[in-house]
Structure 1
Amino acid sequence: MGVRMRLTTVETVHDERSWLFTVRDQYGEKEEVILVPCEGGVEAWINRCTHESQRLDTGTGAAMRDGSIICPKHGSIFDSCSGYCDNGNAAETTLSSVEITVDGDDVYLTDDAVTYLHDGGIDDGDDDGPASTSHLSF
């Protein structure tokens, strides 16, 4: 196991229903990850529906109901503990997981395949400068 990065607390994830952060994957690409409550604990999933790569948490929290994550685009429902979807356009698929460890009430990122960048979504960080060098505005 590589370096542990403290993310937040189990209590915060349960209170807010989800918690969003950004990582860099092993290919150098940025990915958003959501932490969601799961039967007293927490699970971490890549913040993309398996159907059309729709963000599950668009920056205001993931839509959650009865222990499930709801895709805001087509309504597919993913179990927050297993990541599995048994209905809608994403049926028979599972969200991609990110390894975390819970130690007491603290949640740590422990996935060697990703590097923590910042809290919040991809566009919330300032680590890469502007997305465009165009001087045009509309």
Structure 2
Amino acid sequence: MNSDRSIATVSDVPAESTLLFRIEDDDGEAHEAVLVDTDDGVACWQNYCQHFTHIALDKGSGAAMRDGEIVCENHGAYFEADSGICTYGPCEGATLAPLEVTVEDGEIYLTDPDFEYLGPGPIDDDDDMTSTSNVKI
């Protein structure tokens, strides 16, 4: 595998949260994505809620999770970590946008041909449109 596409090791992905990283599309636009530990390995999703796509699921310190589902703290939507399907909330039935990753010898690589790996952590953006929430998990 190409080491430039190495995101993290499997052991770096938290058991009950997400690991945030940055990607770039073919137009040079930066985006965020998350890795999540599932029963079947590691899943990768673009870091936004399907209800309002300007809302990040992981705001920089790991997405909230409950019973194996990623929780949008703004809307209370629940997404299955392994399939990305919204099981509850205003976007019920919608699916998180997936990214292709491959695990080889414990290392996770971005293999999605539409994106390049930029690095760990959130996009440094002064125009933060996320909000806080009173949703309790």
- Using the size of structure 1 for normalisation, the TM-score is 0.83
**SS in structure 2 of the partner of residue 90 of structure 1:** coil
Moved >2 Å (runs of 4+):
14-17
State the partner residue of 1:11. Answer: 11
Q: CA deviation at 1:90?
A: 1.3
Matching residue's letter, 1:61: G
Aligned to 1:48: 48
- Letter aligned with residue 36 of structure 1: V
Structure 1 residue runs without a partner (length 5+): 125-129, 132-138
TM-score, L = length of structure 2: 0.83
User: Where does structure 2 lack aligned partners over 5 or more consecutive residues?
Assistant: 128-137
Q: Please show how residues 50-89 of structure 1 align to structure 2 within 5 Å.
A: 50-53=50-53, 54-89=55-90
Alignment of 1:1-138 (within 5 A): 3=2, 5-15=5-15, 17-53=17-53, 54-123=55-124
What's the % identity of the aligned pairs? 42
SS in 2 for 1:89: coil
How many aligned residue pairs are there?
Answer: 125
Question: Could you say what secondary structure the match of 1:14 adopts?
Answer: coil
- How many angstroms does 1:28 deviate by? 2.1
CA contact (8 A) 1:49 1:71 kept: yes
Q: Does the aligned pair in 1 maintain the 2:85–2:94 contact within 8 Å? A: yes
Larger radius of gyration: 1
Task: Tell me if structure 2 keeps the 8 A contact 1:101–1:108.
Answer: yes
| Contact 2:7–2:119, Cα closer than 8 Å, also in 1 | no
RMSD: 2.0
Between 20-29 and 62-71, report the one with greater CA deviation: 20-29
